[in-house]
Amino acid sequence: MRVADREFIIQVEGLRKSFDTRCVLDGIDLGVPRGSLFTVLGPSGAGKSVFLKCLANILHPDAGRISFDGRLLTAADSALRTEFRKRCSFLFQSNALFDSLTALENVALPLEQTTNLGLREIRERSMEALRQLEMDDFHERYPGQLSGGMQKRLALARAIVTQPELVLFDEPTAGLDPIRRNAVFTMIAKYQRQFHFTALVVTHDVPEALVASDRVALLNQGKICFEGTPAEFSASVQPVVCGFRDSAEALSNSIDAIRQTNFTM
């Protein structure tokens, strides 16, 4: 068996996943370089979230191999899976915050349940995570009392409190307006550099991803059609890349035009 490249924190080979007769992932090969902000782009329904959930072991792939830090994860024992969970965090599209817990309790939850730290240290570390994301003033509020952007920051605070090496972001900008989309990507890029974790983001927001990412890949019809730097993506003449880039640009322009029309009415 080939040992996976240690340059990549996570590496995928021949990943396949189907639901009934519908093939969603059709042999994905991808490596995410350590310490990078890597974005997987793709139209809605391309299988981006399924891909991310396969990596996080929420869904079980039908075939293929996933290696984490050079060790094969798919056929791994429970000890390696536990280690993977400790070193990896997942930020859900819906944030998945516990609505019956306060912001501080939400952030403290992974530390309380997976470490042997004392209550005082857990509180200090959780407050520190909230402070770094400028959320410490809201530590007694419940998620329902926070705005969408603050909920996103709270979810990120919970994801980074365990100091993971890899954070998976599932459509972090879904349903947000262009200004907020930009703010969320800026936030991810800022904290990715500040905390030195590897960020793997799946999204269909092309302009924001191209500005913030170190590398991008395009997932279309269950396959990776492109992988490279944002500059290479912008310059690519591959029909699939051009088609996706142009349609995303056209959509963005139409939305801006509609907004401007509404504002001037």
Does 240 participate in binding other proteins (rule CB under 8 A)? no
The rounded distance, in Å, linking the Cα atoms of 12 and 217 is 13
Does 58 participate in binding other proteins (rule CB under 8 A)? yes
In the three-class reduction of DSSP (H, G, I as helix; E, B as strand; rest coil), residue 76 is classed as coil
Q: At closest approach, how far in Å is the CB of 183 from other proteins?
A: 23
Phi, psi of 232 (to 5 degrees): -65, -35
The rounded distance, in Å, linking the Cα atoms of 80 and 87 is 10
Q: At closest approach, how far in Å is the CB of 265 from other proteins?
A: 35
The rounded distance, in Å, linking the Cα atoms of 85 and 115 is 12
The rounded distance, in Å, linking the Cα atoms of 146 and 22 is 38
114 vs 247, which CB is nearer to other proteins? 114
Per rule CB under 8 A, count of chain residues that contact other proteins: 21
Q: At closest approach, how far in Å is the CB of 157 from other proteins?
A: 13
Interface with other proteins in residues 97-116 (CB under 8 A)? 97-99, 109-110, 112-114
109 vs 174, which CB is nearer to other proteins? 109
Angle at 169 between CA 168 and CA 170, to 5 degrees: 115
Q: At closest approach, how far in Å is the CB of 116 from other proteins?
A: 8
Phi, psi of 239 (to 5 degrees): -55, -40
115 vs 194, which CB is nearer to other proteins? 115
Distance of CA 163 to the CA centre of its chain: 16
Instruction: Answer for the pair 160, 191: CB distance below 8 angstroms, yes or no.
Output: yes
Does 10 participate in binding other proteins (rule CB under 8 A)? no
The rounded distance, in Å, linking the Cα atoms of 146 and 209 is 26
Q: At closest approach, how far in Å is the CB of 110 from other proteins?
A: 4
Interface with other proteins in residues 75-94 (CB under 8 A)? 82, 85-86, 88-90, 92, 94
Instruction: Answer for the pair 89, 165: CB distance below 8 angstroms, yes or no.
Output: no
Q: At closest approach, how far in Å is the CB of 172 from other proteins?
A: 14
Does 250 participate in binding other proteins (rule CB under 8 A)? no
Q: At closest approach, how far in Å is the CB of 213 from other proteins?
A: 23
Residue bearing tokens 């400790």: 86
155 vs 225, which CB is nearer to other proteins? 155
99 vs 265, which CB is nearer to other proteins? 99
Does 96 participate in binding other proteins (rule CB under 8 A)? yes
Query: Which of 236, 225, 229, 199 is closest to 214 using CA atoms?
Result: 229
Provide the terminal-to-terminal Cα distance of the chain, rounded to the nearest Å: 64
Residues at the interface with other proteins (CB under 8 A)? 56-58, 82, 85-86, 88-90, 92, 94, 96-99, 109-110, 112-114, 162
